[in-house]
Amino acid sequence: LVSLFMSDLMVGLVVMPPAMLNQLYGRWVLRGDFCSLWASFDVMCCSASILNLCLISLDRYLLITSPLRYKLRMTSCRALALILATWTLAALASFLPI
């Protein structure tokens, strides 16, 4: 849940203010090279948010379907690895195309 919070917070603090300026002025008013960086952060934060929701759904599914084996399957190291994989996949999907 903290990872989902961080991705949504980054959308609100990093992605939305330039998007608001873009909507208000009807064009990109910031530096031109900042546009591709902003677009990459937009894709990364939104992808991380979606992937975090998928991980939370998978976690809840595993808890409901096998509650006795859940503690053995979902260790803190495995949860951290899943969160790191989520952010890595989101970053690769957004920054590699630049």
- pLDDT tens for 61-86 read 999 999 889 988 888 999 999 999 99
98, pLDDT greater than 80: no
- pLDDT tens for 8-58 read 999 999 989 998 988 899 888 888 888 888 889 999 999 999 999 999 999
CA atoms in the 13 A half-sphere facing the CB of 79: 14
SS3 per residue for 17-36: HHHHHHHHHCCCCCCHHHHH
In this prediction, residue 31 carries a pLDDT of 85
Name the residue type at position 65: T
